[in-house]
Structure 1
């Protein structure tokens, strides 16, 4: 791990929102509400835990995941990333890039326990914690007690995480969530970047478009084809032009280019979906094989539904073919899913729509979304027989 670096302020005061669902007039003045937001992101979390617990792995390129022919990289150490190894890459492709790559099986129970330690550190400063995953969270420290400076709080949090877990975290400090996340990515690993009020728009202007949270590879390619390569290029486009090119997401990009984001930090966000997927050791080619391959995902998703007491209406099937082409198919019913059998039947119907297959299938996933709490069952009136 690299040594801790001092924080580096980037600038001064500036406005507020940017979400794909944002509904505001482009003429609306940005808010200057004085919020203090920290985004904390653990550095190569899974791989760093493995290197911490196995000293022989330190300094070596490590991938968490399966090393077999059909395996997938779940996480990569920074030593492995230097060779171009990334999460979601096939194990075979990862080994071609880094022949000395060391694979270790994931230990999710350990990662979850360490995540709990990190969350306990956050809770010393604020109750407004919005976890995004086991290794990432937003904190609103606007009204936090103790050290008044958000930068000082971020420094203390990083120091406590290092002392109590032996791991490093990067953090971003700013006045909204969008900028805080950009800041935490800016000096990874083990970095702390501050974007003060007044400097958000300038910071965003210099970024490559694919650095924007919410702009994936496909959208970035579309933007570059339109001559949008940086935040400054994006800011030069009108809201109407972006709406026409990108639909509802256009308004998000309009505000993001201005460093504006009004979203609050939402503690313990309710989970809106649950999914599971399986990569198979051999390609599946028949309907019977696909139905059998779907069964573990159905069982895993329904376990979450039962444990949470939630039900959804939308079922989404994900299929990755042997040539790595990926498709999804969804179905939304009028009623909440009532049982595992109904979920399985919906999944089977979606699978049948794929035939005849264009190629063998290497991965099947299933997701239920649109979670709601089902209404209580109507009490049945008992009749008394005489």
Structure 2
């Protein structure tokens, strides 16, 4: 599966700062100082209703991570998956009378278009669950053969007790885990499981549903969590720098994935930091496909909204915050974009070297994009109010906003 084209990232004078970021596993801020190549895995979409503002907010957060790292003169090895076979996708295709593969391909293509328009830097490896199946099957067999997994009526389940670190990502108690498991794709009430929280690794073929050759597992398809584990281990290995996604993935997805990987390798941890973006609401409720209260990036673009304004609207909220999308937020972003473009369109201006460092400092501090926007706002106000004589300043501001915030002026 191919990703989307990368926009050019301008080089800035000097060098950026190492990233300090909130880690869900330690429940505190840690400093990440990767080697020459920083490694990040971000969980991708299930392609049946893309791309809503909640998606965009999540991927914007991890795009900022990439930009901070690139500014430190590191390379970035970024991997993202597409869950292109899963119950929600099959259910949507059945509801709408569509072929599930055509639905997945269409929504993935739309996601690529939206990511390109928003100038999100693409992953080096963009891997679908279906294409990952040949690498998933041996992992499930290894877990089963090691006693970390067991069969139940043809299905294969992971035993959460196989990982002594289970629970260390989300820090939830058993009852909270059970409730979220039922809500987010698990089956805690299925009879015969050793532990209600045990997640499925391999689902035996069901009538009328797609299935693949699973070797000694029989025909079937992979569970959700093992998909990401197989892709991450194949392309990044253990101990990569960031496992990222929305806060609704902390449990069960990231918790289970970490345990799968740790049971497979005997190493800990799977990732140095577990980073989670907040949820976006609309009309008082979390934006979600099940509720249908979605604002789509493609619909905004079709209505004539500049993608740079959409991105500024996302950047106006801290990535870990839960917030609500409103028309007023978008209007403020449109106005901000106009002010910024007017300011950098002048032939000269006030010096901007300090601004570069302010933006760097804000983003290195747990991706504080609102503080970065405020710094640019202050420069813009002075630029409009004062006659400067630095011919390089407008260009430097444009490159800074482009390189670090992903906004083209």
TM-score range relative to shorter protein: under 0.3
Give the TM-score of the pair, scaled to structure 2.
Answer: 0.25
Identify which of structures 1 and 2 has the higher relative contact order when contacts are C-alpha pairs closer than 8 Å and 6+ apart: 2
Structure with more helix by fraction: 2
The structure that has the greater radius of gyration is 1
